[in-house]
Amino acid sequence: MNKERLEWVMSGLNQHTLTKTEGQFVKTALEDFEKKHGLTDLQEQRLEHLYKEKSKLTPNKKSDYYSFKESSPKKTGSWRPRTKMF
């Protein structure tokens, strides 16, 4: 996995809330990538799988893009018939 791909996967994972073990794994994988300039095949597979699973879910509410604010309906005036002018 190259650095651009790793950054792209990480940006996708940052949109979601990770469990404690998932967060620890991601942190360890990033540290390993920085030290060794690469990941093992197992780490790559697990990161890809984690990304795919999380991307199926709705993004976390951290992002305002996906949160819809409730707005009260606008009041409309009642309908009145026009009066005839002679």
What are the pLDDT digits (tens) for 58-80? Answer: 655 555 555 555 555 666 667 77
Range(s) of the domain holding residue 31: 1-7+22-56
pTM equals 0.58
Q: Is residue 46 part of a domain?
A: yes
Q: Is residue 48 part of a domain?
A: yes
- Which of 42, 41, 43, 30 shows the shortest CA–CA distance to 3? 30
Rounded-to-integer distance, Cα 23 and Cα 70, Å: 33
Q: Is residue 16 part of a domain?
A: no
Determine the average pLDDT of the residues in 26-51: 87
Q: What is the predicted pLDDT for the residue at 83?
A: 77
Rounded-to-integer distance, Cα 44 and Cα 38, Å: 9
Q: Using 50, 70 and 90 to split pLDDT, how confident is the model at 4?
A: confident
Q: What is the predicted pLDDT for the residue at 65?
A: 53
Determine the average pLDDT of the residues in 2-19: 83
Q: Is residue 31 part of a domain?
A: yes
Domains in the chain: how many in total?
1
